[in-house]
Amino acid sequence: MLKVANISFGYTSKEVIKNIGFKANKGDYVAIIGESGSGKSTLLEIIYGLLHIEKGTIYWNDQKLLGPNFRLIPGEDFMKYLPQDFDLMPYTTVEENIGKYISSQDKNKQKRIKELLKVVDMAEFSQTKVKNLSGGQKQRVAIAKVMAKEPEVLLLDEPFSHIDNFRKNKLRRDLFRYLKLKNILCIVATHDTTDALSFADKILVIRDGKLIANNTPEKLYTNPKSAYIASFFDEINKIPVSEIDANDTSKKSVLLYPNQMKLTEKDGIKATVVASYFKGNHYLIEAILNKTTLFFEHHSVLEINQQIFLKLAIDETK
């Protein structure tokens, strides 16, 4: 088990990581999400042992990790960390880049290289020099490289940022299936919440260096505690209750995703259409309710300035 206990860190006197704590088990996939500059990459570097902390502790299987001040070479041996720069050898082949991290005494070395190339869908490029690959291909090789030693903990920083969408979906499925099979704890800092929603066992949400949410994807999506959290999963409507109920004078608001608002003939709140955006299997409609902008899903395009009625799926218990 990895236990991060109340850690804080600052490059200067100003802390960029503030009292963060969480636990994760072998085989888990933990996704860290948050806006740029929120502290995601810094948190990964602290866990790996590149940055020293004065406040808080990190444990792996009840053993305290001491950090870079107590190691000749920073970084924990049982972990692998893939930052956003890939650190590959450009003038050697894909196979050689991966094989460098597998012992020559390993009788299954070639078999393992082929296995890893298959996971990242790079088998046909095994003899290609890295300098001749695209950015997305280099990123896939880098992922295979950090898995070559079969670490107990794998830390990935935006691991799919350079990869085309049509390859990304298969790569995610193959990679996270492989890590589960090998019982490797994987912690990923990502802007792409598809990584988190579809595959993660747990999502950590960071804002301004603070951990503001820690839960399963299902619970965070269905019951977000703030518009900030909900905004990572979809467009979010933050609607003042007073605009829904004229008798309500409170300053409360409700949070609704676009699929929680439906067009009706007469019932519901009245709004005006501003724009329609084609999304493939539906249109995302932008509308105005008094001074509040709304987004909802509809099966067809709507005319600009059209007056409409919307029914809201509001949980009365909230």
10-residue averages of pLDDT along the chain (318 residues): 97 95 97 95 96 96 92 90 88 95 91 96 96 95 93 95 88 94 96 87 97 97 94 93 84 93 90 96 95 95 96 64
CATH number of the domain within which 197 lies: 3.40.50.300
Say if residue 152 is in the same domain as residue 250: no
Total number of residues shown for the chain: 318
Residue 290 domain-assigned? yes
Residue 317 domain-assigned? no
Say if residue 141 is in the same domain as residue 272: no
Residue 149 has a pLDDT of: 84
Say if residue 149 is in the same domain as residue 213: yes
Residue 250 has a pLDDT of: 84
Say if residue 205 is in the same domain as residue 260: no
Radius of gyration over alpha carbons of the chain, in Å?
A: 23
Residue 132 has a pLDDT of: 97
Say if residue 10 is in the same domain as residue 42: yes
Query: Among the three residues 191, 226, 261, which one is the final residue of a domain in this structure?
Result: 226
Say if residue 97 is in the same domain as residue 33: yes
Residue 318 domain-assigned? no
Say if residue 178 is in the same domain as residue 29: yes
Query: Among the three residues 207, 226, 245, which one is the final residue of a domain in this structure?
Result: 226
Domain count for the chain? 2
Residue 316 has a pLDDT of: 42
Residue 195 has a pLDDT of: 78
Say if residue 193 is in the same domain as residue 270: no
Residue 298 has a pLDDT of: 97
Residue 103 domain-assigned? yes
Residue 309 has a pLDDT of: 95
CATH number of the domain within which 277 lies: 2.40.50.140
Say if residue 168 is in the same domain as residue 298: no
Q: The pTM is what?
A: 0.91
Say if residue 9 is in the same domain as residue 108: yes
What is the domain extent for residue 257? 237-312
Residue 266 has a pLDDT of: 82
